[in-house]
Amino acid sequence: MADHMEQSETQIMEEVGRVVEQAKELQEAAASFISSSSKEEQNLRQRAVALEISISKLRSSVNSLVFDRCIDPKLAEKLEDELNRAKCILADGDASAFLPGETESRFLKMFLGPVNVRATRKDVQLKIKEDYNSCRDRTAILFLLFPLLLLVLRSSVWHGCMPAFPVQLYQAWLLFLYTGLALRENILRVNGSNIRPWWIYHHYCAMVMALVSLTWEIKGEPNCAEKQEGVKLFLQWAMMQGVAMLLQNRYQRQRLYTRIALGKAKRMDVVWGETAGVDGQLLLMCPILFTLQGFEAYVGWLFLRKAFVGVVSEWQVVFCGFLLVLMAVGNFTNTVETLLAKSRFKAKMRSKSMKQL
């Protein structure tokens, strides 16, 4: 019995010792692999940065030669296309992970801490983008249905006077929505997307407005209809926003895929409010966007007017009215800037075509 126990102890000690040795060997192998891969990664980063600098220098050289008339314009255009192709390969391929990325914003660090959110593999980056697009598709539908439901209930069940809880529930959803969109868009920018900073700031403003709205006491009787006029208009504006988002998702994303196929956009680029499509889509989207922005400014002005004439005196009304006007002006400015940039680009292309003829 004692011999059997001693044999069992010896056997288990040998197995434990073997496992400990295997753990040490695995640790050494992992450390060696990490060290070698870190060196290789650093080498790739240096090569990627050097190549990006070379492309920029060559582009400047070609432009200088064209300006000095030392090179045939057709050859210069061909060289420019080749450089754009090289830039596209560098920016859209797996090598893009080794290029310097956008610095993580304070917003990301505040919510996630010192976490590196930049994906090293292109398929992971594209998955982040597709998840963002799916989120926008779901959001557009809810943006339309949620306020529509509240307005229908207001007229059919609540007799023109909405209770506070459903409105605050909607505002809480807006806070969740805009916070999520801001986080996703910051992560997309870190991973190479072209989202304009204003649209992220726009979501910051909307997030703050939703948070402030949660502290706003929804007034009831007497004069409920007059006191809640601003809330009703805001819900109507939100429905218009939902329609605009659905149209953007439907039309502009198709155009973006075409631009990516032509090498005029990166695979990580996404569609948002300022993006416009081809001429036919511009005729559809621009009136909708400008109407939406004008109505947003009107709702903000209405909030401010009601606060200053004493109909509704809470500070939240003034704050939300100011933010609505600010966002409307910012959206309008960015949309106009985008249209002007497109006009300049088209004029440049026409000029090139005329020279070739």
Tell me the pLDDT tens digit for each residue of 294-305: 888 988 888 888
Mean pLDDT to the nearest integer, 213-230: 72
The pLDDT confidence band at residue 138, using thresholds 50, 70 and 90, is confident
| Model pLDDT, residue 355 | 58
Q: Which of 162-166, 213-217, 327-331 has the highest mean pLDDT?
A: 327-331
The pLDDT confidence band at residue 325, using thresholds 50, 70 and 90, is very high
> Looking at per-residue confidence, does 310 or 68 come out higher?
68
Tell me the pLDDT tens digit for each residue of 231-245: 788 888 888 888 877
Instruction: Map out the domains of the chain as residue ranges.
Output: 7-98, 108-356
The pLDDT confidence band at residue 173, using thresholds 50, 70 and 90, is very high
Q: Which helix (H) or strand (E) holds 264?
A: none
CA 278/CA 195 separation, integer angstroms: 19
3-state DSSP: the chain helix, strand, coil percent, rounded to 5?
Answer: 80, 0, 20
Tell me the pLDDT tens digit for each residue of 26-66: 898 888 888 888 788 788 888 888 888 888 888 888 888 88
CA 22/CA 25 separation, integer angstroms: 5
- Which DSSP string corresponds to 168-207? HHHHHHHHHHHHHHHHHHHHHHHTT----HHHHHHHHHHH
Q: Is the pLDDT of residue 221 over 80?
A: no
| Model pLDDT, residue 268 | 65
Backbone angles phi, psi at 98, to 5 degrees: -100, 0
Q: Is the pLDDT of residue 281 over 80?
A: no
**Contact between residue 280 and residue 271 where contact means Cβ atoms under 8 Å apart:** no
Task: Name the pTM for this structure.
Answer: 0.75
What residues contact residue 230 under an 8 Å CB cut-off, 6+ apart? Answer: 299, 302, 303, 306, 312, 317
